[in-house]
Structure 1
């Protein structure tokens, strides 16, 4: 299965959006300045494939993206996600005669402001692009402001894979060390970087990794510094696959504050718990938080 995206400007020919561009827009590493300050209709198309060849369309979905002043979409996505979360009814209210008005209004707002229904002509235009019979059937592709990355050759990919095979062993070995051992490890790695100049940068990278582990260990022992309380709402699907459908966090000035905040967040969002949905809480130092780009990048 593969996924394609198309942007439908008002009274104009649609544009193709590459997966790289969409991922860049979501991650705030790319933008489309020509659409800054506008709301645009985007169609997502799920395809069944035979190898790389599309066989048939499985599903289409229309979304409305809100672009900010720089041509990014992250702020608009966060706003639409907040509306989705507000539209969720607490368990036990679905069958009551009187239900909360806010979730109903949110669902209406989602339908009106963040969704659109593709017409037959829209689907037909997408079909012509996917299975073109003429050169004019292929739609042009939008380009963002982020420079295109150089192609990764087979030899380069294989070299990276061979090198990366040992990463987990390196981090695992460092994580097993206690504070006194980490201090000696860091000193020795830095010494070897001077004694073996051919591997200077590698030893320095290992030493920096150990320094971070040492600082995390100190923070966890003392409870001081900046901490984060995090609650994730996870949906469990078939074959052990999970997806985060919501997360809430607070920045705190100590471990004890983070524990209290995590308990409060857990209580506030416990109503989202269900048969296939879990609500999980954890605390972490800011050093660990910065290693979680899906949260720290917000």
Structure 2
């Protein structure tokens, strides 16, 4: 299977959204300033493939992208996910068998505000782009603001996979060390980098990793400085694969204040808990928090 994405502006022809651009928008690495301050219809298409050739459209889902003043969609996505989640798990009547009229109306409003139905006209235009009969059938692509990355050749991908296959072992080994060992590890790594200049950049990198881990361990021991209380709302599918549908945080002064704030956030969002949704809390140093933002998107 493969997915395609299309933007349907109020005026003009639909436009293609590349997978790279959509992922960049979702994780805050790209933006569309040309649509700043607007609400745009986007269709996500799932295709059945045979090799590299699309065979048929399996499904089509319409959603709205709400762009802020800079062309960023993350706030709109967070609001959309929260509204749909709250509507999907709104309380039923006390007898447990009849869903209240209020619940039905809430779900209907959430769907109308954040979803739209991809009709025959839209599907016909998308199909013409996927299986063009002439050059005019091809739709133009939307351009984001991030630089286009160079193509990754098969040889480059193979070399990168081979070179980085066991990188996880480095972080795992460093995470197991205590403070005195981390100091010795970083010093020795830099010393070996001087002795083996052909690998000095690699030794410098693992020494820096040890330095960062040492600072986190020290801050966790001392408990002072800037800390963050974090609560994640995670939806789990049948295969126990989780999707983060909500993240709430509060900046605090010191670890104990972060623990108190985490308890408060847990209480505030306990209503999001459901059969397939967990509400999880943790406290992080500012170093861990900023690293978390880099890895999963703000």
TM-score by length of structure 2 reads 0.89
Q: Which residue of structure 2 aligns with residue 191 of structure 1?
A: 191
Q: Structure 1 residue 92: deviation in Å?
A: 5.3
Mapping 1:29-68, distance limit 5 Å: 29-68=29-68
Q: Which residue of structure 2 aligns with residue 269 of structure 1?
A: 269
The verdict on how the C-alpha distance between 1:294 and 1:204 changes in structure 2, with shifts beyond 3 A counting, is: closer
Question: 2: CA distance between counterparts of 1:72 and 1:268?
Answer: 27
Q: Structure 1 residue 268: deviation in Å?
A: 2.1
The verdict on how the C-alpha distance between 1:149 and 1:278 changes in structure 2, with shifts beyond 3 A counting, is: same
Question: 1: CA distance between counterparts of 2:90 and 2:37?
Answer: 35
Greater Cα shift, 123-132 or 192-201:
192-201
Mapping 1:1-298, distance limit 5 Å: 1-91=1-91, 93=93, 95=96, 107-293=107-293, 297-298=297-298
Q: What are the superposed Cα offsets for residues 228-254 of structure 1, whole Å, 9 maximum, x if unpaired?
A: 222222222123322222222222211
The verdict on how the C-alpha distance between 1:96 and 1:166 changes in structure 2, with shifts beyond 3 A counting, is: closer
Partner SS for 1:292: helix
Partner SS for 1:245: strand
The verdict on how the C-alpha distance between 1:72 and 1:90 changes in structure 2, with shifts beyond 3 A counting, is: closer
Alignment check: 8 A CA contact 2:174 2:210 kept: yes
Question: 2: CA distance between counterparts of 1:16 and 1:140?
Answer: 6
Q: Structure 1 residue 98: deviation in Å?
A: 9.8
Partner SS for 1:290: helix
Stretches of structure 2 that go unaligned for 5 or more consecutive residues are: none
Alignment check: 8 A CA contact 1:226 1:251 kept: yes
Q: What are the superposed Cα offsets for residues 6-34 of structure 1, whole Å, 9 maximum, x if unpaired?
A: 11112311111100111112222222232
Question: 2: CA distance between counterparts of 1:156 and 1:118?
Answer: 39
Partner SS for 1:239: coil
Question: 2: CA distance between counterparts of 1:104 and 1:253?
Answer: 43
Question: 1: CA distance between counterparts of 2:222 and 2:190?
Answer: 26
Stretches of structure 1 that go unaligned for 5 or more consecutive residues are: none
The verdict on how the C-alpha distance between 1:88 and 1:268 changes in structure 2, with shifts beyond 3 A counting, is: farther
Alignment check: 8 A CA contact 2:92 2:98 kept: no
Q: Structure 1 residue 69: deviation in Å?
A: 2.7
TM-score by length of structure 1 reads 0.89
The verdict on how the C-alpha distance between 1:157 and 1:91 changes in structure 2, with shifts beyond 3 A counting, is: same
Partner SS for 2:187: helix
Q: What are the superposed Cα offsets for residues 263-289 of structure 1, whole Å, 9 maximum, x if unpaired?
A: 222222222222222222222212122
Q: Structure 1 residue 164: deviation in Å?
A: 0.9
Q: Structure 1 residue 81: deviation in Å?
A: 3.0
